[in-house]
Each structure stands twice: as structure tokens, then as C-alpha cells.
A and B are shown apart, each in its own frame.
Chain A
Amino acid sequence: MGAAKADLEWHGSTLLYRAAAVLARTVDGPVVVVAAPGQALPELPDGVTVVEDPVEGLGPMQGLAAGLAAVADRAETAFVCSTDLPFLHPAYVRRVLRALTGDYDVALPVARGFRQPLAAAYRTRIAGLVADLLAQGNQRPGMIFKHCAVLQLDDAALLDDALLAKLDPELDSVVNVNTPEEYTAARDREPPEIIVERFGALAKGGGHRPNPVRAATVGAAAQAVGLTLDRHIVAAVNGDQVTKDGRLPLVAGDSVAFLSADAGG
């Protein structure tokens, strides 16, 4: 690829920034990035923390062990993904997390014909099991599934979720980029269609009414309606956090509200 996947440019930020930000806006708990020892990471969204693999070169199993252990005291379940999923959609994350019920340890999508251990949900209690397997020389995530209760989710099961079926019908959430060509093709895709609304003094000419635009980030959405995020103008995606971060990724179905930073009486 010519660069670490985490560093690959993505609409003004990086693939890693996008993945971390999508998870941060989707889940209530902590978001942790697992880095190789000494790995320099690109900038991350506020609130995202980093833990390092204790040993280099043991692949995703090591990352999984370190990540699950890092959040085990704060969360019972964790969504685990690789950094190279440029179309990961919050609806997919929610669908997979919601499937992890009862005694299951893993909700494992089998999407687009492949098992997706790096776009799956895990009980954090299996962090020890993963570490033990690793210590025994097992570096393939598939080994985990032989030792715990796994719920497999095929395309049909995933798309049972009406919202996911509407917003990511092809399950592009699990599309990853492993070659320069795949990266270029992904980068060249048309940005998702989202809805923009402007309020208060920004709403001249009916701007408060829903306005569909194509934009991959909040900054691009602002630009599409002639705004620039600054200390006077902020945004909120789907009524969630108020932000001035133009790099915040958008996905199909998002609604972005732009309002004056001096909102209030």
C-alpha cells in the first residue's frame, strides 16, 4: 500500500480517524485503538485512547487481546474492527452488537461470503482466553471460535435489521482495502447522501428545511451549503454531540444540523 493503512488519507483525515470516529459516535462506552509497539498514529478524535500491543508481529489476535483487556473493566461487550473499513456504518455496528445476547461470546458476521472477525462483537470476558491462545502460539482469530460460543450472522440475518437494510443494503460496511487499487476505488466512490438543516441566523431562505447533499464529512456538508465551521458555527450529527470538527465522518442516512455556537437565550 505504500503506507500504513491507518495513515491513508480519507476525505481530509485518515482511515483510522474515520473508523475511530464512526465507533465513537455509535457506542456509549470507550473507544480504544490498539497500536503496534512504538507505532506513530495519526491524529485521533477527542476521547479515543490508545493502547500498545505488548509484543510486535503477532497480528490481529494480539490486537484483539490487548483491546478487549483494555476495556474489560468498563464494558461487557466490544465491537472490534480493523482500520481499513472505509464504509463501516453505525447501523452495522449496532446490528452486530445487538445480536450478542444470552450466553454467546462472539457475534460473528459471515458477510459477503466471508467470516468477518475484524468487524464483529466480542464479550470482553474472553480477553484471557485470547491471551492464552496467543501464548500457545495461536495467531489466527479462527482459533477463538473453537473455544467459545459463537453466533454467526449471515447476510440475511444482518439485513433483517430494517435500518441496516435501508442504509447499507450491500453490506459495504465489511469492504476492506488491501491494495492500492482497492483503496483508490474506495476513495473515488461518490460520498453518501445526507440531509443538511440550518437553524437560526444560518437559516436564511428556508435553510432550516431538510436539504439533501452528498458529503463524506461534516466539513464537506458545511461547504455544500455555503458554511464554514468556526467558533461561531457548530454542527450536530443526528442530534448528537455538538462539534466544530469538520473531519467527522458522515454515512448514508445522516442528518447534520448547523447552528450558531451562541445558541441559547
Chain B
Amino acid sequence: MAPGGLFGRALVVDIGDRDATGTRLELDDQVLRAYLGGVGLGTWLLHRLAPPRVDPLAPDAPLAFVFSSLVGTPLTTSAKFAVVAKSPLTGLLTDALASSQFAIAGKLTGHDAIVIRGRAAELSVLLIDGDGPRLEPAPELAGLSAAEAETQARQRFGRGWRTAAIGPAGERGVRYATISHDGRHAGRGGLGAVLGAKNIKAVLVKSATKVAVADQQGVLQAARDLRKRSFGPATAKYRELGTLANLLAFNAVSTLPTRNFTAATFEGAPKLAAEELHELRGVARNSCASCSIGCEHIYARKGGGSQRMEYENVFALGPLCGVDDPDDVFAASARCDELGIDTISAGGTIAWAMECAEKGLLDAPWLRFGDGAALLRALDEIGERRPGLGELLAHGSRRAAELVGHGSIDFAAQVKGLEMPGYEPRSLQSMALGLAVNARGADHNRSGAYEADLSGDVDRFAGGSAHVAAAVDTEDRAAVMDSMILCKFLRGVFEDPFTEWARLLALVTGWDLDADELHATARRIVRAKRAFNLREGATAADDTLPTRMLETPLELGSGRSAALSADRLRTMVSGYYVARGLDEQGRVEPADLADLLLDP
């Protein structure tokens, strides 16, 4: 019998030219308890189902939608799922979380995960309900945005279906294309390109069953309590201004990456700040499915319409590209949504290209920092994979830099091929380590080590052992939250997180979990991700930062400078390996491999 909240099985869908077949993969209690669900279980599934060294865009490469025991419960922020695959951007594991009714309907098809393999002969949609999977040709959806595709699919197949779709960039194989649903995105690592390579425009799921939790009354009580706490001060920032509140604060503390990481303060920041836009443009606030926080802030666009704005898309399409006109940034964000591309990678890749163009390394004299029209033109060229610049940039900054040469890789702001988020590593040195060692690449969601840097508890300009401990701790917390799955914006409401999470999971599943076991689970999940990457060819040399971050000091607003040398980073990385129980090359010790339950 499966644990509460789970079915104990995954559906593996093999797509042929014109049809799809489903096979049950039994998931025993040991695996489910060891990996929980979400990102953890997705990692285990990739180990099991991805052929070693598979091309991420090949038919054999699996793409997994993974749910968890909490999905469908009344616990706030639990309507989330993970999408896990080998990334066409990094060649390593990538996982992205998203929130929508798709999570609940997908799980209630009767599966803890849905894994898709194969390739259709023509652009199609995949439908999954209680009767299993079926493939329907959908050439009429070609070139549509994900939102348009969702609308048309609902019209064609009727109510009750929940949709995850790709935009034109996913169809065309842009390596940082997203998968979208209800306006939310599984954004990082190019999952949209993986689905597009299977000729699948959209996946539709429909609820067909129910699943019981172990302690219904206990879960209801916990849900009421968590909901109440979600209205408290720990989430005020998200509620009142959203993540865009970071922008002006980060600018004030010299950690707002600007003009391709050549500066950490941006003179145009006040024009893009949530504090200003909220007064001048704020029109609405919204929540994900089953969420009581409501972090989504939607701003009016000049000339009509509105746009959801987050810190990361404003940072990447604003300061990082030197653009300070909010309407240009709004338009660029909307364009990314229409094309279905990750705003961070798009902005990071274009910022690199702007620097190349200004240095004469790219023949694109129109592409200049600060030019909003140029930013929009570059996005269009990428979305269309227009021969020349669009085709080049569709591969992301690392591959583009390898093609352009002339040392441009030194200032391609990426780790393992994934463009860097809006956290300047030279002035946030716990985060520097987090960015360097994370399995997904430069990532602010699987490592939130910036919390330590911004807490006042560590010297954020001088990384050392305290920063290593902070990076490990935050990675562990993310591993559990992303697997159980709860939104990280809730993290501040937990006084004793591992203990409280263990209690929540126990109420839902019936497992007699405790904090110690969840700590071990976190370590297992982090190790399993690393083991996958090692299998796919990653080495310790990948656990680093771009040369610019290690050789060029950063001028601070205070007049001092912040520097992060290669030696200092290497020392922190070595400390991280020790703390994680890895060998000196960052490899999982043989004795720990058995704990990963990877043997068939």
C-alpha cells in the first residue's frame, strides 16, 4: 500500500510517431521516503530512465513532471510540481518548479510522476487522464505562445484539462525555452526545448482519481495553522511589493549586477524599483494555485495591458542590459513570456552579446547597453533563431562564447552553462560558493546562500568557513522544500524547519519522520544530483565562477572594492566537498552511493 498522499507509481509515456503508450513504473516506499517527490524523486527518475550521456534533445532523453505527497492537500503553496530533465543548456541535470492547477490534475491522473520519452512525427499534444496517455496531432498550434496554445487546447478538448505548453522558442529548440502553464513557468535550463524536441506543444492532464492522506484532521489543522502564519511578517515582503522589492535594496548594498556584471550598482535602479512602480503602476496582486501569500504583482503597461514583474526578470532585462526604462523592461518581459524563454538566461546572454558588440567581437553595432529597442530586437531574433545573431544567442552565453572566442568566455556570466541570477558573487561570497557548486548551475533557488550574506552574520566580502556552512545549510533546506514541495517564500515562517517539515510530511504520508531523517534526505538528494552530473561528465573544474568574478575587483558604493580570488573560491569549494562528504574531486564516495538507491 502506498504512503498517504502518494500512489506509489510513475507513468512512463513513450511517444511514437503518431501514438503514445504508457507503462507503470512502481515506486516502492523506500524510494519515495528517500526522495520525497518533486526535485528529489525527479533526480532519482532521471538516474533510472535517462541513458548515460544522452543528448538532452534526443528522443530517448526523458522529461519528468514530478508531484509530491503534499500536492492536492490544503497546505498553502503546495500546488507545485517539478519538471526534471537533462538540460540542453548545461548538459547536466536541471529541475524547475512551478505552481498551478496542473500539479493537482497531473497527480490525480493517478501518478506521482509522469515521464515523457520519444518523439512525435508532427507537432502534437499529449493528453493524460485515467485512461492513460494519448497523442493528438496539433499542427494548428505551431508558432503560438504558450498562453494562446493553452487557450486553443482547452477550446478543442473541453473543460477539465489542465495544460502545460511551450512557446515558439521551445518548438525551435532555443536552449533556454520554458514550459508554461496558467502564466507560470518552469523556467530554467531549457525544459521547453526538451519538450519541443519531442514535438509536443502541450501536455494536458485531467483528474481521474483521489488520494487519501494519513491523518486528514491533522492535515487540516496544520493547513489552518500554516495559512495563518503565511500572513505574518515573514512573508510581508512578498505580499507588499513582491520579489521586485529586492532591486532597490540590492542596489543600495552593491549587489545588483549591472551591464553584464561590470558594476553592482545601477543609476537607473530607482526607475525600475518596486517602491516607485507600485505607486505609479501597480494594478493587481495575484496568487498561485493554493497559495495564501500572493507574491505576484502585476503592473500596468504604458499604452494598455499589464505585465507580471519579478526581481529576476527586471534585473536581467533591466540593469544587466543597462536598460532603465520600465516600459522597455515590461515589453521585454512580455516578449519572453510570448516566446517562452527564460528571462534570466535571455538577459544574461544578451548582456554578454552587448559587451561583445561594444568590444567589436560581434558584428551587431546596433546592440548596445541601455538600448531598449535593441534588447527587444535581440529577443525577437533569438525567438526566431534568425540566422546570425539569433541563432548564435539561442544556444546561451557559454556556447556562444565558445563560438565567438577572443576570451569572451571570461565575461560570459554563467556557471556550467546556466546564466547567473541577480546576485553579485563578489559582494555576496556565501552565494558565490552556492552558485559555483550547485548541480543546476548558477542558481538562486537551489542555493539561497545570499541569506547569510545579507543577514549581517558573515563578512560578505571575505568568504571562508562560515560561508561554506551557510551554503551547505541553505542547499539542504532547498532540497527538502523542493521535494516535499512547498514554496520557498514560506521558509521564513518556520522556526524549526526540519522538525516542522517532518511533522507535515508525517501527517500526510504516515511516515514516522523526524528532523534527523530529513537532514539525511537533503544530503541524499544533493548527492544524487551531483552523482547524475558526474555520470554525465561533470568534474570539479565545473564548480567555479566566470573569470571576471575571480580576477576583476568590484567597485562598491562605499569607495572600497570587493574581490573574490580563484584561490579563495577554491578553498571554499574544497570546504564544501568536505562538508558534503565528497572526495577531493567532488565525487560521491563509493560508500555513499548505495544510500542513493540507484541500482535497478
Contact = CB atoms under 8 A, between A and B. Distances in A.
Interface of A: 25-26, 28, 46-47, 94, 197, 199-201, 203-204, 206, 208, 231-232, 234-245, 257, 259-265
B558 A242 contact: no
Contact of B558 (A238, A262, A263, A264): A238
A208 B248 contact: yes
B252 A241 contact: no
A173 to B, nearest CB: 16
Contacts of A264: 246, 423, 444, 448, 450-451, 454
24 contacts: A28-B561, A199-B248, A200-B237, A200-B246, A201-B240, A203-B241, A203-B275, A206-B275, A208-B276, A239-B265, A239-B557, A240-B254, A241-B456, A241-B461, A242-B253, A242-B460, A257-B252, A259-B249, A259-B252, A259-B253, A262-B237, A263-B450, A265-B421, A265-B448
B564 to A, nearest CB: 13
Nearest to A235: B456
A199 B250 CA distance: 9
A103 to B, nearest CB: 26
A260 to B, nearest CB: 5
Contact of A263 (B265, B273, B445, B454): B454
B25 to A, nearest CB: 34
Interface in B430-475: 444-445, 448, 450-451, 453-457, 459-461
Interface string B236-260: 1100110101101110111000000
B560 A240 contact: yes
Contacts of A237: 558
A208 B273 contact: yes
A243 B453 CA distance: 10
Nearest to A257: B252
Nearest to B236: A201
B492 interface: yes
Given A242-B253, A245-B456, A200 B245 contact: yes
Contacts of B273: 208
Nearest to A234: B456
A200 B450 CA distance: 16
B311 interface: yes
Nearest to B427: A239
B445 A265 contact: yes
Given A262-B234, A265-B312, A239 B454 contact: no
B559 interface: yes
B556 interface: yes
Contact of B556 (A240, A242, A265): A240
Most buried by A among B249, B250, B254, B275: B249
Contacts, number: 119
Q: Interface residues of B toward A: which range?
A: 35 or more
Contacts of A240: 253-254, 556-558, 560
A261 B455 contact: yes
B461 A263 contact: no
Contacts of A197: 252
Contacts of B246: 200, 263-265
A238 B559 contact: yes
Q: Which 6 A-B pairs have the closest CB atoms?
A: A239-B557, A257-B252, A200-B245, A199-B249, A238-B558, A240-B558
B133 to A, nearest CB: 35
Interface in B215-243: 233-234, 236-237, 240-241, 243
Interface string B256-275: 00000000010000000111
A237 B560 CA distance: 12
Nearest to A264: B450
Contacts of B249: 199-200, 257, 259-260, 263
A264 B451 CA distance: 7
B252 A25 contact: no
A245 B455 CA distance: 11
A239 B252 contact: yes
Interface string B483-521: 000000000100000000000000000000000000000
Contacts of A241: 456, 459-461
Nearest to B311: A265
Contacts of A245: 456
A191 to B, nearest CB: 20
